[in-house]
C-alpha cells in the first residue's frame, strides 16, 4: 500500500511538473544534510529512499574490529555477529537509524534544503519552457507590483516587466491582462527570470506579424523600425511582389490592421513608409509628408543635408524635432534639414567667396561648385591632388587657387569681418554647426515621392 510520503511525492510531481526522481534525490540530500548537521563527520551514514516501504532510510556503517577504539565508527566482532552471524573482521556493518535521532534543528535544516531544491527545480523547468520563446509576444495577467517593476503571471511561471521597459504614462491594476515581448530568459537571476518589454522596437514588429498575414508569411518585410514609445513610431516596409502594396497591406482596409496595433500601444502614432535601397529616396519617404526639393549626400560621414521649401521646414523637422529624429533612426543616417532660402544664401556666399580667389573666374567657380567645392574654405581644406584632377585645371593653376584659398582663410581668421558665418541648425544634436565645412559633397535632385501614410491613434491626432 502506498504511504503518505509516496502520495505526496507523486502529487507534487504532477502539480509542479517536477520529475519524481528529482524530488526523491532532493529528499535524500535533505536528510543527508540533516544528518551532517546533527552528527557532523563522526558517523559514516548513507541515505536512500525505499520505494517499496515509501520512506527514507538512514544507515550508520561501522567497521568490525577486535578491539573498539571509536564506537561511532567501529563495532566489535561479538556485537557484529549479533547483527549478522556471518560477519568477519574488516567487514562494514550498517544499522538503521531512526529519524527521531536527528532532532528539531536537523529537521528544520532538511526542510530548508527541500524548499530550496524545489525552487531550483521549478526555475530550471521555467527556463527550459521559455528559453526558446525569446522574441515572442505573450499574454499574462498583472499579479503584483514591486520595486523592480510589474510581476506578470504567465500561468506556470512569473515574468517581470521592468519600469524602464514600460510605455510612458501607461497604468495597470492588479488583474489586468497585458501583452508584452519576451526580451530575455535568465537562468541564474533571482526573482522572476523572464524579462518582458513593451518599448522594444521588435515588439512593434511582432505586433505587425500578428495582425498582417503578409508580414507573417514573409511576403511583406519590415526592414526597419524606429520608436519613441508612447508617442510615435516609423516602420519601413518592402516587398518583392510587384502586385502587392506593402504600405497598404500593413494599413489594412480603412486602417483596420494598423489601428489594431495602435490600440495595443495605447494610441502611439505609427507612420508606415516604403523602404528603398537608395538612401536619399528612403530618407525622402521617411520625412514625408514634407516635400523635399534636394538632398546633399556625404557618404563618408553618413550625413544627408535635406533642402525643403521654407513653408515645409517645420513639417519636416516635426514637433520638437521628432519627425527628423525618427527618420534618422530609421535610416541610420544623420540628417540636417535646411530651408531653401537659407541654402540659397549659403550657396551665394560660398560662390562669392570662390570669386574672391586669385585667378578664378565664373567658369572655374562653377566647375568647383559642380564637384562639391561650395566655398573658399572647402578649397582651402582640399589637397593639390584633388584640385588638379578637376577638368580644366592644370597643376599650376590648381596650386595657385589652393594657395589663394588658404591665404584668404588665414586673413579672415586674423582679421574677422564681424559677420556671422552662414549656419544652420543641426536638428539631431541640437547644436549650431558651420555650414561651410563639408568638402566633397555630391548633390542630387530628388524626384517627387509618394507621401507616407500617416496613421493616427484613436484620438485622431
What string of DSSP letters covers 36-57? HHHHTTSSEEEEEEETTTTEEE
Indicate the helix (H) or strand (E) that contains 195: strand 194-197
Q: Which three cell numbers stand for residue 324?
A: 527628423
Grid cell, residue 38, equals 546533527
Q: Would you say residue 460 has pLDDT above 50? A: no
Write out the three cell numbers for 300: 563618408
pLDDT of 156 reads 78
- Reported as a pLDDT band with limits 50, 70 and 90, residue 118 is confident
The better pLDDT of the pair 280, 83 is held by: 280
- Provide the grid cell at 230: 508612447
Q: Among 90-104, 179-193, 296-310, 393-407, where is mean pLDDT lowest?
A: 90-104
pLDDT band at 107 (very low <50, low <70, confident <90, very high): low
pLDDT of 311: 92
Query: How does pLDDT run across 319-367, given as a tens digit for each residue?
Result: 999 999 999 999 999 999 999 999 888 878 877 877 777 767 778 878 7
d(C-alpha 27, C-alpha 5), whole Å: 11
Tell me what the pLDDT averaged over the chain comes to: 80
Count other C-beta atoms under 10 Å from residue 381's C-beta. 19
| Averaged pLDDT, 101-130 | 70
In degrees and rounded to multiples of 5, residue 374 shows phi and psi of: -90, -5
pLDDT of 222 higher than 70:
yes
Residue 416: pLDDT band with limits 50, 70, 90: low
Ranges 59-63, 356-360, 423-427, 443-447, most confident: 59-63
What Å distances lie between residue 43 and 40, 55, 61, 73, 78, CA to CA? 7, 21, 8, 6, 20
Confidence class of residue 450 from pLDDT cuts 50, 70 and 90?
very low
Q: What confidence tier does 223 reach under pLDDT thresholds 50, 70, 90?
A: very high
Q: Report the candidate in 455, 426, 453, 450 with the shortest Cα–Cα distance to residue 284.
A: 450
pLDDT greater than 70 at residue 105: no
Q: Is the pLDDT of residue 452 over 90?
A: no
Phi-psi region of 87 (alpha: psi -120 to 50; beta: other; left: phi over 0): beta
The answer to whether 290 and 316 have CB atoms below 8 angstroms apart is yes
Q: Which range is most confident: 147-161, 187-201, 237-251?
A: 237-251
In whole angstroms, give the CA distance from residue 206 to residue 210.
Answer: 6
For the chain, what is the total number of helices (H) and then of strands (E)?
A: 16, 19
- Report whether 208 contacts 261 (CB < 8 A): yes
Tell me: the pLDDT tens digits for 370-390?
Answer: 777 778 888 788 888 887 778
**Residue tagged 559642380 (cell numbers):** 370
| Reported pTM | 0.66
Q: What pLDDT shows up at residue 398?
A: 79
The pLDDT of residue 414 is 67
| Residue 434 DSSP SS3 | strand
Cell numbers linked to 29:
540530500
Q: Which one is predicted more confidently, 386 or 452?
A: 386
Contacts of 300 (CB under 8 A, 6+ apart): 440
Burial 3-12 (b: 16+ CB within 10 A, else e): eeebeebeeb
Report pLDDT digits (tens) over 16-65.
667 777 777 877 777 777 777 777 667 777 777 777 777 777 777 888 88
On the question of a cis peptide bond just before residue 266, with omega within 30 degrees of 0, the verdict is no
Strand partners, 431: 426
In the beta sheet, which residues pair with residue 56? 49
pLDDT, average across residues 182-207: 87
> Per DSSP, what are the bridge partners of residue 61?
44, 94
Strand, helix or coil at 406? helix
Over residues 56-81, mean pLDDT: 80
- Residue 448 CA to residue 80 CA, distance in Å, equals 103
Q: Which three cell numbers stand for residue 114?
A: 527541500
Which of residues 91 and 331 earns the better pLDDT score?
331
**C-alpha distances in angstroms, 364 versus 35, 241, 387, 391?**
97, 48, 11, 9
Position 157 pLDDT exceeds 80: yes
Distance (Å, whole) CA 270 – CA 286: 12
What pLDDT score does 57 carry? 77
Look up residue 350 and give its three cell numbers: 560660398
Integer Cα distance of 8 and 49 in angstroms: 14
- pLDDT confidence of residue 11: 72
pLDDT score for 336: 93
Region 299-325: what's the mean pLDDT? 92
Which bin fits 430, alpha (ψ -120 to 50), beta or left (φ > 0)?
left
Q: Which residues pair with 144 in a beta bridge?
A: 151
Average pLDDT (273-293) is 92
Alpha carbon distance 338, 345 (integer Å) = 11
H or E, element range at 30: helix 20-39
Which is higher by pLDDT, 201 or 456? Answer: 201
Amino acid at each position: 500500500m502506498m504511504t503518505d510520503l509516496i502520495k505526496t511525492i507523486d502529487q507534487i510531481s504532477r502539480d509542479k511538473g517536477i520529475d519524481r526522481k528529482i524530488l526523491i534525490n532532493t529528499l535524500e540530500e535533505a536528510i543527508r544534510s540533516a544528518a551532517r548537521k546533527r552528527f557532523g563527520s563522526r558517523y559514516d551514514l548513507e541515505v536512500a529512499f525505499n520505494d517499496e516501504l515509501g520512506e527514507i532510510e538512514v544507515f550508520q556503517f561501522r567497521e568490525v574490529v577486535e578491539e573498539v577504539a571509536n564506537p561511532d565508527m567501529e563495532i566489535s566482532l561479538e556485537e557484529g555477529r549479533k547483527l549478522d552471524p556471518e560477519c568477519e573482521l574488516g567487514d562494514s556493518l550498517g544499522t538503521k537509524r531512526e529519524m527521531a535521532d536527528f532532532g528539531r534543528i536537523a529537521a528544520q535544516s532538511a526542510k530548508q534544503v527541500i524548499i530550496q531544491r524545489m525552487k531550483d527545480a521549478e526555475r530550471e523547468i521555467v527556463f527550459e519552457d521559455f528559453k526558446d520563446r525569446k522574441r515572442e509576444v505573450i499574454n499574462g495577467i498583472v499579479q503584483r507590483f514591486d520595486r523592480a517593476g510589474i510581476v506578470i503571471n504567465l500561468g506556470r511561471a512569473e515574468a517581470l516587466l521592468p519600469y524602464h521597459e514600460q510605455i510612458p504614462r501607461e497604468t495597470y491594476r492588479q488583474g489586468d491582462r497585458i501583452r508584452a515581448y519576451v526580451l530575455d530568459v535568465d537562468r541564474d537571476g533571482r526573482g522572476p527570470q523572464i524579462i518582458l518589454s513593451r518599448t522594444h522596437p521588435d515588439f512593434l514588429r511582432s505586433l505587425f506579424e500578428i495582425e498582417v498575414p503578409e508580414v507573417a508569411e514573409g511576403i511583406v518585410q519590415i526592414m526597419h523600425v524606429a520608436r519613441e514609445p508612447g508617442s510615435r513610431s516609423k516602420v519601413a516596409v518592402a516587398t518583392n511582389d510587384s502586385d502587392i502594396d506593402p504600405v497598404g497591406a500593413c494599413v489594412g482596409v480603412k486602417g483596420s490592421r494598423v489601428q489594431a496595433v495602435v490600440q495595443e500601444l495605447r494610441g502611439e502614432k505609427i507612420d508606415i513608409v516604403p523602404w528603398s535601397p537608395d538612401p536619399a529616396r528612403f530618407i525622402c519617404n521617411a520625412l514625408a509628408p514634407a516635400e523635399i526639393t534636394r538632398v546633399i549626400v556625404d557618404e563618408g560621414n553618413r550625413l544627408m543635408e535635406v533642402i525643403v521649401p521654407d513653408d515645409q521646414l517645420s513639417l519636416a523637422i516635426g514637433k520638437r524635432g521628432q519627425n527628423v529624429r525618427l527618420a534618422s533612426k530609421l535610416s541610420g543616417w544623420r540628417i540636417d534639414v535646411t530651408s531653401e532660402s537659407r541654402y540659397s544664401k549659403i550657396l551665394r556666399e560660398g560662390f562669392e567667396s570662390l570669386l574672391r580667389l586669385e585667378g578664378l573666374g565664373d567658369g572655374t567657380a562653377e566647375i568647383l561648385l559642380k564637384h562639391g567645392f561650395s566655398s573658399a574654405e572647402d578649397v582651402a581644406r582640399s589637397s593639390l591632388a584633388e584640385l588638379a584632377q578637376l577638368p580644366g585645371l592644370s597643376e599650376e593653376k590648381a596650386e595657385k587657387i589652393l594657395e589663394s584659398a588658404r591665404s584668404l582663410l588665414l586673413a579672415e581668421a586674423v582679421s574677422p569681418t564681424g559677420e556671422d558665418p552662414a549656419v544652420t541648425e543641426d536638428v539631431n544634436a541640437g547644436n549650431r554647426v558651420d555650414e561651410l565645412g563639408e568638402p566633397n559633397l555630391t548633390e542630387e535632385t530628388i524626384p517627387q515621392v509618394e507621401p507616407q501614410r500617416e496613421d493616427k491613434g484613436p484620438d485622431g491626432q
